[in-house]
Amino acid sequence: MNALLSVSDKTGIVELAKRLNALGIRLLSTGGTAKLLAEQGLPVTEVAEVTGFPEMLDGRVKTLHPKVHGGLLARRDLPEHMAALAAHGIDTIDILVVNLYPFEATVAKPGCTLADAIENIDIGGPAMVRSAAKNWQDVAVLTDASQYAGVIAELQQGQKISDATRFALSVAAFNRISQYDGAISDYLSSIQLNAEVLNGGALESEKAPERLAFPGQSNGRFIKLQDLRYGENPHQAAAYYRDLHPAPGSLVTGQQVQGKELSYNNIADADAAWECVKSFDVPACVIVKHANPCGVAVGANPLEAYSKAFQTDPTSAFGGIIAFNRVVDGLAAQQVAKQFVEVLMAPDFTIEALEVFKSKANVRLLKIELPASLKSGATPWDRGQNATDIKRIGSGLLIQTADNHELSLGDLKVVTQLQPSPEQLQDLLFAWKVAKFVKSNAIVFCKGGMTMGVGAGQMSRLDSARIASIKAGHANLSLQGTVVASDAFFPFRDGLDVVVDAGATCVIQPGGSLRDPEVIDAANERGVAMVFSGVRHFRH
């Protein structure tokens, strides 16, 4: 057996080479690695002796040769491959040990220049790793010192590395190459060359980079979809990115079929609307304004769902973002077209619906395919929800798993003497689902599968409750007999009293306050039903 060792990080390499040599495995190596092994008294053959060519171009070329890659890529089970090796005097390479030039560490150093970064882009190493990983059935490729002990243990036991280990090493190798290439792409994409740079000056960036790197999502890499005209305000620059591997049914997978270019605020609000509407399994409509749902409803069809959602807050719906989780037909389109709408999203639009909006060229129509779960009834985990949530803060990031919790009837704990009716239980689940998408502090009144009043984003839960009641009054909606959802617990009974005074007869809240007994007693005193969800839904 032959092993080729060529490493930048030499941690553990001498011990590995000693173990390989003790097992009768011939050692091949390059440059500094070969020198180190020779100094330790190990018999090592330099790759230059094998290829017949010296290292050249300051080490840029040393392993890019058929005698290296032929030995890695030849399939031992194909006679023609082995005959080709014999004809050209090429030995097989059975173990490859490579770690790459320290590109990531180099660019992380203060004062790193473009020239420094370029010189630390490994070429021969990744090429060998790819060759060995492709031919995993015959070659074991080690790309990290943590892998050395396990491979030596297998060789000592039976002079062979198992198929399972070689395959796992191959997967790890391709992952490392992907990570390495991504780091190079992210770095180079984050800068723009201009005449000053080419002459040795400073790097400047005038546009958003084509790729961004953040931890936590799809190996942390994002690809730019477009530069935007501006951000939240005209004086702010902005760009629109998608995850490297976007989840099915997410906003970035949508196709714009009509209308002006989306703005930063359009995209932010559209995402809020789409994430909310696709959480419903029945026909639903969500209207969003400034990142908050101002109307949500379910119905027998898109027209009914929209008509109910619009009733919640017709004033705020003006210039809003509307999302459906069903195909928009002509009837629904005619009703929506009566108001000013910025963006309309749905899984699809009928020919009749598209015809309705032809005369409204500025309306942005987005077609987004629903995740498979909403078509087949699979579990909520398949809804295409984001795995993580990332917020940028000054010189840092906040990263958390996404709020993908789904509530069922079995999760509800009735804590009052009065039990909710079956109809109220369904409205409680509906209200709770909507509250998850409303900015905290959130109070949501619902009845009959529609929102009746929404209070969002206030510093006081009492104020959110009062605002929800006021907005219902402005829309001429009665809150008598409604259910209400609070995204977090009531710290005092006063919040409960406000919603009951407004007309609520059933309440859902997380519970968990030290004053829960006081609030439960208040609910019993007021003659309303209350359930605890056990889950909080803060949304900041």
Active-site amino acid positions: 134, 290
DSSP string, 290-353: TTEEEEEEE-SSHHHHHHHHHHH-HHHHTTEEEEESS-B-HHHHHHHTTS-EEEEEES-B-HHH
470 and 479 Cβ atoms separated by less than 8 Å: no
- Strand order, beta sheet including 211-213: 211-213, 221-228, 238-243
Amino acid at 429: L
Return the residue matching tokens 């990142």: 291
Tokens of 53: 């060519």
Strands, sheet with 341-346, edge to edge from the N-terminal-most edge strand = 255-258, 364-367, 341-346, 320-324, 284-289, 292-298, 450-455, 443-447, 482-486, 504-509, 529-532, 413-414
Nearest to 126 by CA among 105, 100, 106, 103: 100
Tokens for 536? 């909080």
What's the chain's length in residues? 540
284: which residues sit within 8 A by CB, 6+ positions away? 277, 296, 297, 298, 299, 305, 324, 325, 326
Non-local (6+) Cβ contacts of 338 within 8 A are: none
Tokens of 142: 């080690």
**Dist. CA 122–CA 183, nearest whole Å:** 12
For residue 351, what are the contacts with CB-CB under 8 A and spacing of at least 6?
Answer: none
Rounded CA separation 479/402 (Å): 32
**DSSP assignment of 55-76:** -BTTTTBSS-SHHHHHHHH--T
- Whether 482 and 505 have beta carbons less than 8 Å apart is answered as yes
Using alpha carbons, select from 361, 374, 362 the residue that is nearest to residue 327: 374
Q: Which H or E element spans position 17?
A: helix 13-22
Quick one: residue 420, left, alpha or beta (phi over 0 = left, psi -120 to 50 = alpha)?
beta
Helix, strand, coil in percent for the chain, rounding step 5: 40, 20, 40
Separation CA 127–CA 192 (nearest Å):
27
Distance of CA 445 to the CA centre of its chain: 32
